[in-house]
Structure 1
């Protein structure tokens, strides 16, 4: 298990207008990730941003 998986479980994901998905960043809290996603989304481009939680393994 990787320490960053435990401490940074929240992802911001971007999907462009061609359906390609990219991980934008990893964050410690959902609120922090959502703030980044909202900020990027407000720029008015066709990309879609959302927040996901990494699946925890080994539990």
Structure 2
């Protein structure tokens, strides 16, 4: 198990279109869920780029 899974870091699925525009597709997923969703989008045959990345850590309370 990697560090991201042990610490419960949420992940998001991102997409980049042919024009270089980036879009958030889903957030708040664990890594396995995010990877599965990205794979599902890729399997649809669209020519966009999909990837999974950890979400930014929450800002500490002031």
Q: TM-score range by the shorter chain?
A: 0.7 to 0.9
The number of equivalent residue pairs is 53
1:48 aligns with 2:33: no
* TM-score, with structure 1 as normaliser: 0.77
Deviations 1:15-41 (A, max 9, x none): 001110000011331000000000001
In terms of Rg, which structure is larger?
Answer: 2
Q: What does residue 33 of structure 1 align with? A: 34
Which segments of 5 or more consecutive residues in structure 2 lack a partner in the other structure? 1-7
* TM-score, with structure 2 as normaliser: 0.73
RMSD: 2.1
Which segments of 5 or more consecutive residues in structure 1 lack a partner in the other structure? 1-6
